[in-house]
Amino acid sequence: MHLLSFDPRAFRWSGIGPSDYKSGSGDVRGMSWTGVSRWVLASPETVAADYELRYFEIEPGGYSSLEKHRHVHFVVVLRGHGRALVGEHVHDLSPFDALHVPALTPHRWLGEGDIEPFGFLCPVDRERDRPQPLDDGEWDRLRANPATARYVF
Amino acid sequence: MHLLSFDPRAFRWSGIGPSDYKSGSGDVRGMSWTGVSRWVLASPETVAADYELRYFEIEPGGYSSLEKHRHVHFVVVLRGHGRALVGEHVHDLSPFDALHVPALTPHRWLGEGDIEPFGFLCPVDRERDRPQPLDDGEWDRLRANPATARYVF
């Protein structure tokens, strides 16, 4: 199938169902998350590319795991408003803003809308390492930084 | 720089200027194009990934080269209305529609708006082959197909 039609009312693509965001609930320090859904638009099973393309959606008040990994992110916002902790910085994000998360940089995504979810496209290398929690030094540094402290939990 | 802020009025990203769509005007059969601009959001120079992320924009009446290559496309529309020839099929495209162009499948993008350009995101493998024109068999087949004939020039 070539075309994945988009339904603007449902904000969903034809033939694409949700995948688990993570397999667990995140018991490790900082790895908790809530209100996150993942939609795989292009995977190795469907598209013969070195990348995958995922769409993530975070409910108002929801957040992803605070994590790092060697593979980078480069996301493009599609809907709503959100916030991202990336290293020592916090960014407010609106539709079509694009954000780079370099290798091994701690990051967390947060839904900041009133009603509308915060949604973004996230292409990612097909071959990639697993997310890992922050080490003690990173954790303490981000907790000591007034800009980032409230997102470190 | 982590954040590429998006300006909705200009429909442009901070710090990102246009790149040439192609270096030449396309003298080979089918390779002509007009009204196409290319904006590289994530390149190997800026993002350490196996993919690049480009944004293409096609003016109303504009079109890209009719070409094929081994690397695949998986595009997501961001603005306006367009049409895509993909193999024997023609698809009308609106915002957030996603379209897969498999390996070695002839394809051409066309801007179908009245005023607004047709714009789409196009992640692509960093390592990839160069576009090539259609061979005689492909050309004749698409010219003989009433669905695709008008886009084969």
Rounded to two decimals, the pTM is 0.96
ipTM here: 0.95
Q: Which of the pair, A16 or A23, is modelled with greater confidence? A: A16
Provide the shortest C-alpha distance from residue A12 to chain B (in Å).
9
Whether B144 maps to a domain, the answer reads yes
CB contact under 8 A, A41 and B74: yes
What is the domain extent for residue B97? Answer: 29-151
Task: Look at residues A110, A77, A75, A107 and name the one whose alpha carbon lies nearest to residue A94.
Answer: A77
pLDDT digits (tens, 9 = 90+) for A116-138: 999 999 999 999 999 999 999 99
pLDDT digits (tens, 9 = 90+) for A63-115: 999 999 999 999 999 999 999 999 999 999 999 999 999 999 999 999 998 99
Write down the pLDDT at residue B25: 65
Task: Look at residues A75, A107, A85 and name the one whose alpha carbon lies nearest to residue B6.
Answer: A75
DSSP string, chain A: --EE-EETTTTEETT--EE-S-SS---STT---EEEEEEEEE-TTT--SSEEEEEEEEEEEEE---BB-SS-EEEEEEES-EEEEETTEEEEE-TT-EEEE-TT--EEEEE--SSSPEEEEEEEESS-PPPB---HHHHHHHHH-TTTGGG--
Question: What percent of chain A is predicted at pLDDT more than 70?
Answer: 98
Whether A70 maps to a domain, the answer reads yes
Domain count, chain A: 1
Strands of B20-67, DSSP E: 34-42, 51-63
Chain A residues near residue B89 by CB distance under 8 angstroms: 2
Catalytic residue among A36, A86, A93, A122: A122
Of B6, B51, B89, the CB nearest to A2: B89
At B26, the pLDDT band (50, 70, 90 cuts) reads confident
B4 touching chain A per CB within 8 A = yes
Whether B130 maps to a domain, the answer reads yes
pLDDT digits (tens, 9 = 90+) for A36-62: 999 999 999 999 999 999 999 999 999
At A22, the pLDDT band (50, 70, 90 cuts) reads confident
At B45, the pLDDT band (50, 70, 90 cuts) reads very high
Write down the pLDDT at residue B82: 98
Whether A101 maps to a domain, the answer reads yes
Is the separation of the CB atoms in B67 and B107 below 8 Å?
Answer: yes
B122 catalytic per annotation: yes
The chain-wide mean pLDDT, for chain A, equals 96
Task: Look at residues A125, A13, A133 and name the one whose alpha carbon lies nearest to residue A71.
Answer: A125
From the candidates B1, B6, B75, which should be mutated to test the interface with A, based on the most A CB atoms within 10 A?
B6
Whether A122 maps to a domain, the answer reads yes
Whether B6 maps to a domain, the answer reads no
From the candidates B4, B13, B76, B109, which should be mutated to test the interface with A, based on the most A CB atoms within 10 A?
B76
At A1, the pLDDT band (50, 70, 90 cuts) reads low
Task: Give the 3-state secondary structure of residue B142.
Answer: helix
Whether A1 maps to a domain, the answer reads no
At B129, the pLDDT band (50, 70, 90 cuts) reads very high
Whether B15 maps to a domain, the answer reads no
CATH of the domain at A54: 2.60.120.10
Mean pLDDT in residue range B45-57: 97
Tokens in use for B71? 């690397």
In the predicted model, is pLDDT for residue A33 greater than 70? yes
